[in-house]
Amino acid sequence: MKKYLVIILFVIATQLNAQDNPKKFDVKFGVGISLLGTGDMTTINFENEVNYKFSQYFSTSFSLNYGKSISGIYETSSYIQGNLNIFISPFKNSQRNDFRIGTGFSIMNISDSYYFEQECGVGIEQSSPYHYDKRNSTGFNIIIEDTYSVTERFLIGLKLFTQPYTNGDINSGILLKCGLKL
């Protein structure tokens, strides 16, 4: 009987300790659509994100994104992007619903491919009719996001973002996200 009482007290103490230490980390996966450039390329996006909650009002995130064009002015366009953001939750992020507004730094590597027809002189061969451009861009993020805790650990959410870059590129879109609190 003593053994069972000790086990029950240990389980209760563990549960009380878990309630005092709310989960500060979560990971999210997102998929969505964005307009790359000035709306010239429609891309499908995939995002992996890690969040850390500092307090009931402030959190930060690091995300990696991949985007691939599905239509636009180029034959194809793709990018890999890294983002570091800080968020404020004006209505607290301790409830089931977390509405937050954020900003941060972004770096993006973009590759474009398009058909480029050029006249060839006599005896000159054209190796490929396609032209490839690669560039890196740095910029900042403006984000509005809403996340809902379906269960104690499972999250779903919606993210609206725009990312102006220093070289004139811009990426704006929407992502549907799901994740887990760790």
What's the confidence (pLDDT) of residue 18?
47
Residue identified by tokens 């002189």 is 121
Q: Quick one: CATH architecture of 25-117+127-181?
A: Beta Barrel (2.40)
Mean pLDDT of the chain: 85
> 103-142: b or e for each residue (b if 16 or more CB lie within 10 Å)?
ebebebebebbeeeeeeeeeeeeeeeeeeeeeeebebebe
What's the confidence (pLDDT) of residue 132?
80
What's the confidence (pLDDT) of residue 88?
96
What's the confidence (pLDDT) of residue 7?
65
**Dist CA 154 CA 31 (whole Å):** 17
Q: What is the pLDDT of residues 33-87, one digit of tens each?
A: 999 876 688 999 999 999 999 999 999 999 999 999 877 777 788 899 999 999 9
Q: Which two tokens stand for residue 83?
A: 């983002």
> What are phi and psi for residue 173, nearest 5 degrees?
-175, -165
Q: How confident is the model at residue 178 (pLDDT cuts 50, 70, 90)?
A: very high
Mean pLDDT confidence for 157-164: 97
Q: What is the pLDDT of residues 89-112, one digit of tens each?
A: 999 887 799 999 999 999 999 988
